[in-house]
Amino acid sequence: MPKLKLTYFDIHGGRAEPARLALYLGGVAFEDERISFQEFGAKRAGYPFKRVPVLQVDDAELSQCNSINRYVGKLAGLYPSDPLQAAYCDETMDAVEDIVSQQVVTMRINDEAEKKSAREALADGPITLYLQRLQTMLEARGGEYFADGRLTVADLKVMVWVRSLRAGILDYVPADLPDKQAPKLVDHLTRVLEHPKVAEYYARFS
């Protein structure tokens, strides 16, 4: 097994959380490097695209969170080997990445009134759309998991996103939006959080 170091901010969410969870669930040893925003400022020029997450694999560096998720998913046994199921897994993760990228744009708005209007439009439009379509996708794939009929990195990625919305991380986006628009994604969130290894992972931090 290669020597792994995953670098990201010290938060229980965001773009590295699915990979952290996947490695933990798979029992794959890795260094969980958590950096402050200040440290990021000092180190960012050295990262492949001046962004995190970055996974160091022995002497090589891998960026782009979904590429990292696929790679660690394979190491952890949480990525499908069947090509179509793998494509379903990718499709789900890329959909979440689409909507997260749209959310991030609003984090850079400094004017509060402008931010409120952008967030309300996001809540009513793209976030609602992605919640509803992901729910439809989940139902089409059996209702419990997004690919392979079992927990994969796609489930971890969706869970991290829905959990963050319900935690109210985005001002002006109602925290109960997932419950109202996609209750089956909330059931999915509960299912993933109740997975014994996921529960064990979060218990370490409480």
Ligand X SMILES: N[C@@H](CCC(=O)N[C@@H](CS)C(=O)NCC(=O)O)C(=O)O
Interface residues toward ligand X, by CB under 6 A: 14-15, 51-53, 64-65
Minimum distance from residue 14 beta carbon to ligand X (Å): 5
Output 47 or 195, the one with its CB closest to ligand X. Answer: 47
How far, in whole angstroms, is CA 136 from its chain's centroid?
19
Q: Is 57 helix (H, G, I), strand (E, B) or coil?
A: strand
Minimum distance from residue 13 beta carbon to ligand X (Å): 10
Output 51 or 133, the one with its CB closest to ligand X. Answer: 51
Rg of the chain, C-alpha, whole Å: 17
**Six-digit token string for 80:** 């499908």
Minimum distance from residue 52 beta carbon to ligand X (Å): 5
Output 66 or 181, the one with its CB closest to ligand X. Answer: 66
In the chain the first and final C-alpha atoms are separated, in Å, by 30
Minimum distance from residue 15 beta carbon to ligand X (Å): 4
Q: Which amino acid is at 200?
A: E
Q: How many residues can be counted in the chain?
A: 206
Output 61 or 179, the one with its CB closest to ligand X. Answer: 61
Minimum distance from residue 100 beta carbon to ligand X (Å): 8
How far, in whole angstroms, is CA 195 from its chain's centroid?
17
Quick count: other Cβ atoms within 10 Å of Cβ 111?
A: 9
**Six-digit token string for 102:** 């749209």
Output 62 or 150, the one with its CB closest to ligand X. Answer: 62
